[in-house]
Chain A
Amino acid sequence: DGGITQSPKYLFRKEGQNVTLSCEQNLNHDAMYWYRQDPGQGLRLIYYSQIVNDFQKGDIAEGYSVSREKKESFPLTVTSAQKNPTAFYLCASSISPLGGSEAFFGQGTRLTVV
């Protein structure tokens, strides 16, 4: 089945630790995105990538980093510089890097700082 797979589903981070969230898609989509969701707020864009080896900062990129070495993979690293990382993280993809195509989402990773 085609889709977007995020792992792990739950992740716990200690203070000062970097953690990496995985996002893999087999839809052959060019564009991939990372969003953060907090209770009572809309989804906010962290990073996006239009093509392999290229990515751009979104609205709340501070404390996060990404890579796009393969078309199907777009991992997100939450660094120790992110002061409030507890949130639900969602990865998405769309076939076109421009805004005309439908976006598809993974099942999310819930990150908790302990």
Chain B
Amino acid sequence: KQEVTQIPAALSVPEGENLVLNCSFTDSAIYNLQWFRQDPGKGLTSLLLIQSSQREQTSGRLNASLDKSSGRSTLYIAASQPGDSATYLCASSGGGADGLTFGKGTHLIIQP
């Protein structure tokens, strides 16, 4: 059964820094990997979706990479801002109909 781990569980950095959030998965036979943002008490907002055939995806200041062979994905946030403060979740799909397997998330705080 797929297991997804996110490290660190929490991270606090000063505004303006570039940072990397890590996601690892035990079964490399994934179909895709998706990164989400969750604000307190809110639902999940999709940030980036990487298909298994892709190495990376970019959206604005966000860049997500995928290395299936090592079972890892990273989310790179450039020039962090206080508005980036949230919990970031990664989730893998095995290609079946039973949805996503989630990590527990990284709680990110950007200090003004």
Contacts and interface: CB of A to CB of B under 8 A. Distances in A.
A50 B49 contact: no
A63 interface: no
Contacts of B95: 98-100
A56 interface: yes
Contact of B43 (A97, A99, A100, A107): A107
A108 B32 contact: no
Contacts of B45: 105
B97 A98 contact: yes
A98 B51 CA distance: 13
A21 interface: no
Contacts, number: 74
A109 to B, nearest CB: 10
Interface core residue of A43, A92, A97, A107 (most chain B CB under 10 Å): A43
B41 A110 contact: yes
A102 B34 CA distance: 8
A102 B98 contact: no
A45 B42 contact: no
Interface core residue of B32, B44, B49, B102 (most chain A CB under 10 Å): B44
Contacts of B105: 42
Interface in A67-114: 90, 92, 97-100, 102-108, 110
Contact of A102 (B41, B49, B97, B101): B49
Contact of A45 (B32, B41, B98, B103): B98
Closest 7 CB pairs of A and B: A99-B93, A42-B102, A99-B95, A105-B44, A107-B43, A99-B31, A43-B102
18 contacts: A33-B99, A35-B99, A35-B102, A40-B104, A42-B4, A42-B89, A45-B99, A58-B99, A99-B32, A99-B94, A99-B95, A99-B99, A99-B100, A100-B31, A100-B93, A103-B99, A105-B44, A105-B46
Interface of A: 4, 6, 31, 33, 35, 40-43, 45, 48, 50, 56, 58, 90, 92, 97-100, 102-108, 110
